[in-house]
Amino acid sequence: MSLEHLIIKPASEAQTHEAQLRNAAYWGVKAGASVEDYLKLNPILQQGVFAHNGRLKYWVLVPQDEPDTTNFYASCQVMAREVLTLHPTQNVPKSGFGHAISFVIVPPEHRGKGYANRFMSLLHSALAPHRYPNSIKAPTPADHSSTVSILYSAVGDYYARCAPSVGESGWSRQSSFVTTWPLSGVKIPPTKDFFPPIELLSESEVATILDSDDSHIPTDLSRLQKKNPTKTYFAFVPTAPLNAYSLTMSKLVPGVLSNTSWGARASGSRDFMTWVLFDDAGFKLIITRIRASASAFPALLGAALQVAQGAQCEGIEIWNVPEHLKEIAQVTGGVTTEREDCVPAFKWYGQEPKTAGADVVWAINER
């Protein structure tokens, strides 16, 4: 099929089912799950708060004259999320929408023919028609016009070559770091007598504390702006729905108990940590969000260690430790390295079209 005869569109119900079958055959096998078990995940995800109002959709690459075929050439899942953006000329962040892209799949028989590049290049027009209008190849744009789209690349700079137009780039990778603690190597210093007790959090308590924490994110962006006022900063909010997505996936991992705690907080303070459990190159407790002082961090890490030991995890992991916690993370046994797999990347569609990707910072990207 000639690339010029292909369009991108939201998947129909039948196309969505076919895309889910393909995901199950590829991602399910990688996760050690059967196709049948992996397919059970889809209705659960569609009921999540992150999917309300059609915010979780599949997109497909199809022939222009056969748009409803289930023999499509590529597919992906796209989640619409609210995003806060703070530009150098602004004092207060502006709210808009962004999109998170995942599960990009091209069937084996269609690989190596340019379909993936064509699909992802056209996706820019579907998500950001205000920047890249293309009513012929992307006739049905996303419900919410995008300020920025993100993905996690396991194929190097490939997605940077999936550009919306000549002379531009696609998704630019952002440096990302991972800090890991093997359980046997965690070092928790003694807690001072006056330090408040640590409480483990249930799923509903995690959602409540994340909802409350969202009010502090504009201040976080302003603090970053003061350090470097030449950059544009963005962060996804609210954080609870995305955490719920990861938590939902986590609960389906074999061996994860339904009564597992999903976070911890220091009583009477704003210090907290949330996490999920994943079997990704080893069974790990993965910290998804943290707001803590350096003095509170060891106690919160100790709570995570307690849960990780109970779940028989191999280690604890967090992406992009906040700057003020890097030293204490090292003191407690954490080892930080630059990520080489599933590296975050984004494409900027903001109102300032001349803003280069290098001048934009994806903030609060702990997971």
pLDDT score at 233? 95
What is the 8-class DSSP label of residue 330?
Answer: H
| pLDDT of amino acid 248 | 81
Out of 39-48, 138-147, 153-162, 301-310, which region has the weakest mean confidence (pLDDT)? 39-48
Type of residue at 329: A
Question: Residue 192's pLDDT is what?
Answer: 67
Give the pLDDT band (50/70/90) at residue 240. confident
Is the pLDDT reported for residue 231 higher than 90? yes
- Determine contact, residues 155/259, Cβ cutoff 8 Å: no
Domain spanning 3-176+342-362: CATH 3.40.50.10860 = no
137-141, 152-156, 356-360: range with highest mean pLDDT:
137-141
pTM confidence score:
0.91
The pLDDT, as a whole number, for residue 46 is: 84
Q: How confident is the model at residue 344 (pLDDT cuts 50, 70, 90)?
A: very high
Beta strands in the chain (DSSP E): 6-10, 56-63, 74-86, 94-105, 148-153, 172-173, 177-182, 198-201, 232-236, 263-266, 272-279, 283-291, 315-319, 335-338, 343-348, 360-362
Mean local confidence (pLDDT), 310-339: 95
Share of the chain above pLDDT 90, in %: 73
| pLDDT (average), residues 186-190 | 89
Q: Which residue has the tokens 């954490």?
A: 334
Query: What's the fold here for domain 177-338?
Result: Aminopeptidase (3.40.630)
In angstroms, rounded to a whole number, what is the distance separating the alpha carbons of residues 333 and 329?
A: 7
What is the pLDDT, as a whole number, of residue 352? 62
Chain-wide mean pLDDT for the chain?
91
- Rounded CA separation 206/225 (Å): 28
* Least confident window among 73-77, 211-215, 248-252, 325-329: 248-252
CATH 3.40.630.30 positions along the chain are 3-176+342-362
Q: How many H helices and E strands in the chain?
A: 10, 16
Q: Check whether 354 has a pLDDT greater than 60.
A: no
| Residue 255 binned pLDDT confidence (cut-offs 50, 70, 90) | low
